[in-house]
A = this chain, B = another copy of it.
């Protein structure tokens, strides 16, 4: 790993106390972003590029950024790879019960979303 890549700044994430309810709702109001969040409930951490969503890579990057800036996901870089995880504990601390209720409703209302 080059010195440059080791020194690369971490991606910006809001602190727990900065997570805004309206931004979380907006982040989850898009079908691709909701599907990413629902997928991440089932796994600890997942490589970007391995999500079963049917959008262009640039669009997907845009959605990851929206989720990250809203405080829904955390992303970390590992060499050339980027890992994504749900900020489940942080969201639970900030808005207890909210994330699970929303994603549960989504999965209940749209059971075919993961086909």
Contacts and interface: CB of A to CB of B under 8 A. Distances in A.
- Which secondary structure characterizes the binding site on chain A? helix
A95 B102 CA distance: 9
B30 A29 contact: no
A53 interface: no
This chain: how many copies in the complex?
2
Nearest to A97: B101
Contacts of A97: 101
Interface size class of A (residues with CB under 8 A): 10 to 19
A110 B23 CA distance: 14
Contacts of A109: 21, 95
A105 interface: yes
A34 interface: yes
A97 B105 CA distance: 10
A30 B26 CA distance: 8
Interface in A85-115: 95, 97-98, 101-102, 105-106, 109-110
